[in-house]
Amino acid sequence: AVVTPSPTPTPQPPTTATLAVCGDVMSHMPVTNDAWDEAQGIYDYTPIFEAARPYVEGADYAVANLETTLSTEGPYSGYPAFRSPSALAEDLKELGFDLMLTANNHCLDQRYDGLVSTLDQLDQAGLAHVGTARTAEESGAANIHVADVGGISVAFLGYTYGTNGIPLPEGREYAVNLFNTDYMTTLSTPDTQRLESDLAAARALDTDLIAVMIHWGVEYQTTQNSYQEELADLLIANGADLVLGGHSHVPQPIETRTVTAADGTQRTGFVCYSLGNFISSQVDPLTDTTAVLTLELTLDHETGEAGVTGWSYAPMLMVRRDGTERVFTLTDASSLPVGASDDLTRALEEAAANCDAILGPATGP
């Protein structure tokens, strides 16, 4: 009999996708007031962060940390107890965002009702969320969001170090994902049991990648501390491939970390300690400096391996023009605007240089 050799199957080419990551969405009262559109009688944040659109909209998936609570009615407030118009959620969605971290030190600023209202408004706007829960059913292992990021499945989890000394609502302790057991006191004891259990639940979902969004570190520090490194290693050892941090109000470094998992295997994870404030009205130059980070994710269908294969970022500066109709304008510092004044040129060049110095040089794509 003639044996016909079976054709060699053509290997499926790897899938690549892009994930855009932004910093903390802060709506201090000057920002909220700036979003008010008198002519239309509505709040419209779009002009404030329009410069980020090409990167956010251009990515397959985009995430940020929502560091305020949302309400359909005022009175609105800024620091220390944030309450912002629900239009913010709609405008973030319209800009191209897909998911918000809602676990942070301001998530209980308007107590449990504010936490519920925030999630309701995000649902209304069509934004996914991780980190807080309205009900016991939404908490724990159910508080993992699985997203299709350009053909690569990613499980997102979210945590915060604490809640600014506001205790978890009695009987509703599930409402906020905390990574510290001592969230009311020293903020220095990791809830290892919780993190291991949640990551085991995430691994059981069998996604290509696991991403942990985390609110951590020390404010106004441009370097990570040893506790952040310890937590990153714990997360990576338990299955996290990406650790995306925030809280510091200023950028912090980006690095890859390799750890030995419990089964003795080596695991490597991508860590962005912080991107600073996406929008805010804080005045220090570094609190006005941020970056939109774009991660290239690759899934190799032959091996089943997935990971971060490159990253780039666009440095951004929150430019203030007091006394004008629009005070706050997030401005792309990767290319100078036409006709930029000397002052603006200098400020943008400084922002780009600061991002480069703190975040480290991008590795492409």
Taking the C-alpha atoms of residue 94 and residue 98, their distance in angstroms, rounded to an integer, is 9
Taking the C-alpha atoms of residue 295 and residue 63, their distance in angstroms, rounded to an integer, is 11
Taking the C-alpha atoms of residue 203 and residue 196, their distance in angstroms, rounded to an integer, is 10
Residue 106, classified by CB atoms within 10 Å of its CB into exposed (0-12), middle (13-18) or buried (19+), is buried
Number of H helices, E strands in the chain: 8, 18
Sheet containing strand 209-215, edge to edge, reads 145-149, 152-160, 209-215, 242-246, 266-275, 251-260
Are the beta carbons of 231 and 190 closer than 8 angstroms?
yes
DSSP string, 306-338: EEEEEEEEEEEEEEE-TTSS--EEEEE-SSPPT
pLDDT score of 347? 95
Taking the C-alpha atoms of residue 150 and residue 60, their distance in angstroms, rounded to an integer, is 5
Say which residue the tokens 């023009």 belong to.
321
138-141: long-range pairs with CB below 8 Å, 24+:
138/174, 139/174, 139/175, 139/177, 140/174, 140/198, 140/201, 141/197, 141/198, 141/201
pLDDT score of 281? 96
How is residue 178 written in tokens? 């905390």
How is residue 170 written in tokens? 């009695």
Q: Strands 306-320 and 61-66, how do they pair?
A: unpaired
The CA-to-CA distance between both ends of the chain, in Å, stands at 52
The per-residue pLDDT for range 160-204, each reduced to its tens digit, is 999 999 999 999 999 999 999 999 999 999 999 999 999 999 999
Cα Rg, the chain, nearest whole Å: 21
Mean pLDDT, consecutive 10-residue stretches, the chain (365 aa), reads: 77 96 98 97 98 98 99 96 99 99 99 99 99 98 98 99 98 98 96 98 98 98 98 99 99 98 95 98 92 98 97 96 87 90 95 96 69
The per-residue pLDDT for range 232-243, each reduced to its tens digit, is 999 999 999 999
Identify which of 336, 342, 354, 218 has the alpha carbon closest to the alpha carbon of residue 286. 354
**CATH number for the segment(s) 15-359:** 3.60.21.10
- Burial of 158-182, coded b for 16+ CB within 10 Å and e otherwise, reads bbbbbbeebebeeebebbbbbbbbe
Helix (H) / strand (E) element for 65: namely: strand 61-66
pLDDT score of 365? 52
Are the beta carbons of 89 and 69 closer than 8 angstroms?
no
Identify which of 160, 257, 279 has the alpha carbon closest to the alpha carbon of residue 212. 160
Taking the C-alpha atoms of residue 219 and residue 231, their distance in angstroms, rounded to an integer, is 17
C-alpha torsion sign, points 159, 275, 45, 33? positive
Report CA 231 to chain centroid distance, whole Å: 17
